[in-house]
Amino acid sequence: MRVLVVEDEPDLLRGLVQSLQEEGYAVDQAADGLEGLTKAEMWEYDAIVLDLMLPKMGGWDVLARLRGAKKKTPVLILTARDKVSDRVRGLDAGADDYLVKPFALHELLARLRAIIRRSSGHAEATIQIGDVVVDTATKSVKKFGVAVALTAREYALVNCWRCIAASSLPEP
Ligand code: CA
């Protein structure tokens, strides 16, 4: 799974990137809206974590440009704003979920898993590749029905390989 984090607060950005990597995600980062939009347009991500108040280009504009370009990458909005009207605006603008700062890390991880699962059309959190079954909820892998012990890094590689396989399909 490949995730883009767009956040201009250095400490929060660093913490998020580290936590997501520990969870087995391949993580790209952007410290302003323009860089975030550029990366989101250039690469295929399984999800984008997007702050709203960003230098150069605000999160709303990033989201609008992505959706305008028919990019359906699931977006989790991250913001200090906590007004209901902002939440509604975020969801109307094509965000998939909304998280208000300060947030608990495990909640962010759970919501991220949920929007990725919804967007990939997997009602269940398992993905089968030949004889190998990857459970994205428990981050476990089974081969021929037998659990395979993997480190977080090895699991990330399994997931990366799946991403590469999916993204290398030619455009219609
Ligand atoms: Ca910010």
- Domains contained in the chain, CATH given: 2-119 (3.40.50.2300), 126-167 (no CATH)
Cα 16 to averaged position of ligand 1 atoms, centre (Å)? 13
Cα 53 to averaged position of ligand 1 atoms, centre (Å)? 4
* Mean pLDDT for the chain overall: 84
The whole-number pLDDT of residue 168 equals 47
The whole-number pLDDT of residue 123 equals 46
Cα 137 to averaged position of ligand 1 atoms, centre (Å)? 29
The whole-number pLDDT of residue 63 equals 94
Cα 61 to averaged position of ligand 1 atoms, centre (Å)? 14
The whole-number pLDDT of residue 115 equals 93
3-state secondary structure of 141: strand
The whole-number pLDDT of residue 166 equals 52
Cα 33 to averaged position of ligand 1 atoms, centre (Å)? 10
